[in-house]
Structure 1
Amino acid sequence: MDISIHHSFLPHTDPEASLAFYRDALGFDVLNDVGQGTMRWITVAPAGTTAPSVVLTPPAADPGITEDERTAIAEMMAKGTYATLVLTTPNLEETFDAVQATGAEVTQEPTDQPWGVRDCAFRDPAGNHIRINQA
Structure 2
Amino acid sequence: MIRINLTSVFVDDQAKALAFYTDVLGFRTKNDVPLGEHRWLTVVSPADPEGVELLLEPAGHPAVGPYRQALVDDGIPATAFAVDDVRQEYERLTALGVVFTQPPADMGPVTTAVLDDTCGNLIQLASPA
- Please give the range of the TM-score, normalised by the shorter of the 2 chains: 0.7 to 0.9
Q: Which runs of 4+ in 1 moved over 6 A?
A: none
- The 1:3–1:53 alpha-carbon spacing in structure 2 relative to 1, beyond 3 Å, is same
Query: Which residue of structure 1 lines up, in the alignment, with residue 116 of structure 2?
Result: 123
Query: Which residue of structure 2 lines up, in the alignment, with residue 24 of structure 1?
Result: 23
5+ unaligned residues in a row in structure 1: which ranges?
none
RMSD over equivalenced CA pairs, Å:
2.3
Distance (whole Å) between structure 1 residues aligned to residue 15 and residue 36 of structure 2: 9
TM-score under structure 2 normalisation?
0.81
Please give the per-residue CA displacement for 1:50-95, whole angstroms capped at 9, x wherever unaligned: 22110111123xxxx5xxxx1x421333452686111111121111
Counterpart AA for 1:75: P
* TM alignment of 1:42-121, pairs within 5 A: 42-48=41-47, 49-60=49-60, 70=62, 72-78=63-69, 80=72, 84-113=78-107, 115-121=108-114
- The 1:132–1:37 alpha-carbon spacing in structure 2 relative to 1, beyond 3 Å, is farther
Asked if 2 retains the 8 angstrom alpha-carbon contact of 1:14 and 1:125, the reply is: no
TM-score under structure 1 normalisation?
0.78
Offset at 1:36? Answer: 6.8
- The 1:38–1:133 alpha-carbon spacing in structure 2 relative to 1, beyond 3 Å, is farther
Distance (whole Å) between structure 2 residues aligned to residue 76 and residue 53 of structure 1: 22
5+ unaligned residues in a row in structure 2: which ranges?
none
Distance (whole Å) between structure 2 residues aligned to residue 13 and residue 28 of structure 1: 18
Using the aligned pairs only, state the percent identity. Answer: 27
Please give the per-residue CA displacement for 1:93-135, whole angstroms capped at 9, x wherever unaligned: 111112222222211110012x432110112122222101113
- The 1:128–1:37 alpha-carbon spacing in structure 2 relative to 1, beyond 3 Å, is farther
Asked if 1 retains the 8 angstrom alpha-carbon contact of 2:77 and 2:124, the reply is: no
